[in-house]
Structure 1
């Protein structure tokens, strides 16, 4: 899944969000047609779950596209912002618990001017299948983005989107209604679009550089 150019990055972001928006919109039309039906509650439960699935899927995919793009630029590691250095060494930092591994890692970090910002770990973006605000914050900070907009939406993310989805997906009874679904639908697509814009602006403005 290498992303070599800005145009490729743009195309992948556009394609990934377009089919998600279409499916969410199509689902809402079906639900609207069945608002007076006895099937409306199962449809609402399904709509909240589907919305979360697209939220998590888009954050994971789009973030991975961005990292892939930066990794193909052959940038010296000492020329990029600290968050990318942390991503580069993330797995080694997590695994390093012996003195020899620690010494080797420190030596690598001390010589980062000889390394390149190549991050090809497919699991580097970890949503933990539970993309609440705390986990989203780790991803956003890891990519060097500003978190303020998502901080303002923390209650929606945790209480209106993730928490209901978890209850529904794990088979826990939760009383939901059309207004609960409507809040999710009206907020999740704009949040995905905002995240997409963050990536596009960072890539075009080269915000990943020191």
Structure 2
């Protein structure tokens, strides 16, 4: 991937981040119109919920941008790392996992008298997979959008799972795990009625700065992976 494409991708990431930060700033500025300290604390609950929304949204968008960049390179499966190649096999694996699927060669042998034998059906699907395996590796990489799954609760372990699927350093956010844990806990605390009182300014500031540091780390991770061609298979 040439430097101009990487620069364009970084620009996309930064533009997405900018509108999110602008929205957070706009909402935060409304605090100046609230006079009661208790009302300010309660208002910050809404800000924390919004911070989580943008954290999950930015992660989702950023990794979608990453897989689109790889898809746009017009690579074939045997050129990319095994994690991404496996992601691109979703359609083939789904066909294999479909216990109702009877391959053509199986039907040719048994015609309309298909024995209801699970092991035989599975063996037939295995034959179909092995039969086409070489052709599969020479086909274009097309990573589907659903590979990026934030599971509606983007805990550190969920982020780790996502990085693992995409062949990125799964421990990249190790130093941020405490911040992510705190953010998700706070968001869930509001949803479940634990944080009824709201947040002091200093507590909210810690959460906001933590989210911003995660944003920057995501941009750094993706641009570095593209520059260093982490998406390609190593020899």
What TM bracket, shorter-length normalisation? 0.7 to 0.9
Distance 2:58 2:126 in 1: 35
Q: Structure 1 residues 85-94 or 19-28, which shifts more? A: 85-94
Residue 199 (structure 1) aligns with: 222
Quote the residue 2:199 is aligned against: 177
Q: CA contact under 8 A between 2:77 and 2:140: conserved in structure 1? A: yes
1:161 matched residue in structure 2: 183
Q: Equivalents in 2 of 1:103, 1:25: separation in Å? A: 58
**TM-score of the pair, normalised by structure 2:** 0.76
Contact 2:42 2:198 in 1 (8 A): no
1:137-176: CA deviation from partner (whole Å, max 9, x where unpaired): 1111222222334122222212x1112212323x423254
For 1:166 and 1:92, locate their aligned partners in 2 and report how far apart those are by CA, in whole Å.
37
Secondary structure in 2 matching 1:152: helix
Relative to structure 1, the CA distance from residue 65 to residue 105 in structure 2 (aligned partners, 3 Å threshold; closer, same or farther) is farther
Answer yes or no: is 1:27 the counterpart of 2:48.
Answer: no
The one of 154, 163, 168 equivalent to 1:131 is: 154
Supply the RMSD in Å over aligned alpha carbons. 2.5
Q: Shift of the alpha carbon at 1:27?
A: 2.9
In structure 2, stretches of 5+ residues that fail to align are 100-121
Equivalent residues of 2:77, 2:136 under 8 A apart: yes
Structure 1, unaligned runs of 5 or more: none
TM-score by length of 1: 0.84
